[in-house]
Amino acid sequence: MLTLWANQYPEVTLWLTKLQIKEESALALYNFCQWANKTPTELLALKAQDYSVNPPPNIVEKLLDEFCASTAFTNVQKCRRSVAVKSFFRHNYRALEHAAGIVTYEKVKDYNALNKEGLRKLWTYALNPRDKALITFVNSTAIAKETLTNLKWSHLEDNWESVELPCINIESELLKGHGRGKYKGVRQTTFLTPEAKRDLLNYKEWLERPQKLGRKLTPDDYMWLQTCKPYRPISYDTFALLIYTLSRNAGVPFSWHDSRRWVNTALEQIGISTNWARKIRGRKVKSEEAPYSQPAIEQLRAKFREAVPLLEFTTESTGLEERIARQEFLTELNRKDAAGEALTPQDEQNIKRFNIRRAFMRKDVSKPECADGEHCGEAFKQINEAALLDALQEGWQVVHNLQNGQVIVKRD
């Protein structure tokens, strides 16, 4: 019905060809036309009157103001419809005044509380390799839903299958703003975690099977396809329905935009610069003319590697890897301190990452300072390897391995 209505008006069909989000935008314009009891052609004619009268009557702007003030839509729905209506007029060269149809609203619903257990459950409930790959993919790359609809295999770097952290480089036309105006030149340079790469390889192999596509995927193929013939690219609206259904079935509140917050939180925790974080999320980077050279990408990849333990979630972790990394770094710090070596900027970042106290850096961490550790403010104990896992889960840290197979652990 909506398609039949839109096809009656060349102005509407021309406008929709310029948009990626077509159905939702068409519905928004339809709602406004029904309320105003005007066709899109009649509304454009009303706006044309403004160009022959001084001062202009701004009839359409006043209609849009009244629509936003009086209709029963929520504020969010009013805002989306106002944006769509103004887009329709702008693309037909009858732009409305900026002040028309402005809707302000306060966020009343908290952001979804993300954690590894919830994301792992969401991933587990995915019914096919495509959906599993999508969950790890977006929570690694922070690629937005609109961009996902147009992503192709060519956006992955060459020979990505053999790269530890494959790079995905996306041109500005597929990002917010579509490369126009202030968004000109914006690119997104992001990466796959090892688990996201694993799932993407599984999905690719699954698609290429004889009972599916029955051929090798090419760089010009769209990445995210429907799971049955004719294997069309997933549309924007289908992406929305897909994650809504999966989230409901798993009982885990989640939206595609949540994945961008997941990635950004991990980047903040490793102390990445604001500009670098914006590159990964595909936002405009200031004060840089050519931030996407190959050396810059390698630097960005090296920094992204630090965030991998925070981003991955498909397997349960005891935190052992992070604790081992902290202990190894602390040992290296003490070696540098004893040798009188200066700390590097990377050392300073790791000090913040592992929350290491400066005073403790000058201690010999290979053994406790006293027999029971109680009077020096830190607790030590000697355990066998069988009890090590439980101790690590309780917050103990390994400080020394004994020759008899036992270890000394400490807790601040």
Give the closest residue to 283 by CA, choosing from 192, 190, 188: 188
Span 203-238, pLDDT tens digits? 999 999 999 999 999 999 999 999 998 999 998 888
Q: Which residues pair with 379 in a beta bridge?
A: 411
Identify the burial level of 37 via C-beta atoms within 10 angstroms of its C-beta, where 0-12 means exposed, 13-18 middle and 19 or more buried: exposed
Residue 377 backbone class (left: φ over 0; alpha: ψ -120 to 50; beta: rest): left
Tokens encoding 385: 């390897």
Residue 338: per-residue pLDDT: 84
Residue 377 clears pLDDT 90, i.e. is over it: no
pLDDT of 368 higher than 70:
no
| Beta carbons within 10 angstroms of residue 192's beta carbon | 27
Cβ contact 330:361 at 8 Å: yes
Q: What pLDDT sits at residue 34?
A: 94
Instruction: Using CA atoms of 29, 30, 34, 40 in order, give the dihedral in degrees to the nearest 10.
Output: 70
Is the predicted pLDDT of residue 246 greater than 90, yes or no? Answer: yes
Q: How large a percentage of the chain has pLDDT more than 90?
A: 43
**397: burial class by Cβ within 10 Å (0-12, 13-18, 19+)?**
middle
Output the six-digit token pair for 266.
């991990």
Longest dimension (CA), the chain: 95
Residue-wise over 220-259: b if at least 16 C-beta within 10 A, else e?
A: ebbbbbeeeeeeebbebeebeebbeebbeebebbbebebb
Residue 53: CB atoms within 10 Å: 9
The residue length of the chain stands at 412
pLDDT of residue 294: 57
400: β partners: 408
pTM of the model: 0.60
pLDDT at 197: 96
For residue 134, what pLDDT is reported?
96
Question: Which domains are seen in the chain, by residue range?
Answer: 2-91 (no CATH), 116-311 (1.10.443.10), 320-411 (no CATH)
Q: What is the pLDDT of residue 372?
A: 41
320's CB contacts (< 8 A; 6+ apart) are: 389, 392
* More confident position, 373 or 326: 326
| 16-41 pLDDT, tens digit each | 988 877 888 999 999 999 999 999 99
Q: Poorest-confidence range of 133-147, 182-196, 312-326?
A: 312-326
Q: Reduce the DSSP state of residue 180 to 3 states and report it.
A: coil
pLDDT for residue 113: 75
Whose tokens are 């310029």? That residue is 18
The chain-wide mean pLDDT, for the chain, equals 83
Q: For residues 188 and 143, is the Cβ–Cβ distance under 8 A?
A: yes
Residue 178 confidence (pLDDT) above 70:
no
Tell me the pLDDT band of 398, cut-offs 50, 70 and 90.
confident
Mean pLDDT on 68-92: 90
Phi and psi dihedrals of 201, rounded to 5?
-65, -40
pLDDT at position 119 over 60 = yes
Q: What is the percentage of the chain residues whose pLDDT exceeds 70?
A: 83
Give the angle 310-386-382 at the CA atoms, nearest 5°: 95
Residue 397: its H or E element: strand 397-401
Better-predicted residue by pLDDT, 354 or 298: 298
Tokens 């009013």 belong to residue: 78
pLDDT at 221: 96
Alpha-carbon torsion angle 268, 273, 276, 280, nearest 10: 10
Residues contacting 355, CB < 8 A, separation 6+: none
